[in-house]
Amino acid sequence: MNGLLPLLGAAFAVALLVLLSSWLGFRGKLRLDGEGEALALAQSIAGGFAVERILVAEDRRHALLVDHAGRVAIVLPHGAHFIARLFDGSIIVTQPEKNLELDFGHGHERVVAGEQLPVWLELLHQARGSK
């Protein structure tokens, strides 16, 4: 019984920390709030990026942004926040099953684009051809 009390106390403390972190918003995978958040992230792209079209993926973890010049940027999770990155020739796009796989050379992202998958593929293909 002497060893049981500290063990129960530690278990209670861990449970309390889990509840606190959940209450503070540290839950699982990040999700975009919508087009507005993706649009705000476009402001961080060097050289300016005037967004004309936004496609938020079905998983709400990714978005595709297109500007007036036909450039394409991808919004993706990076740690505890999102980043916007211009699509360039160094990113390899494959289509396993009904998703997209983006290979950045140092890691890859699986995008669940849902019904928008054909549009994503077309825009990424056009962006690669315009380089």
Q: Report how far apart, in Å, the C-alpha atoms of 1 and of each of 5, 8, 9 are.
A: 7, 11, 13
Which DSSP state fits 114?
Answer: G
Tell me the C-alpha distance between 82 and 39, whole Å: 12
Percent of the chain past pLDDT 70, that is, above it, reads 94
Domain residues of the chain, as ranges? 1-29, 35-129
Is 3 a residue whose pLDDT tops 80?
A: no
Is 111 a residue whose pLDDT tops 80?
A: yes
Residue 25 phi, psi (nearest 5): 100, 10
> What CATH code would you report for 35-129?
2.30.29
What's the token pair of residue 101?
């796989």
Q: What is the pLDDT of residue 57?
A: 92
Reported as a single tens digit per residue, the pLDDT across 52-104 is 999 999 989 999 999 988 889 999 888 778 989 898 878 888 887 788 888 98
Q: Report how far apart, in Å, the C-alpha atoms of 20 and of each of 26, 29, 41, 80 are.
A: 9, 17, 28, 17
Pairing of strands 63-67, 100-103: unpaired
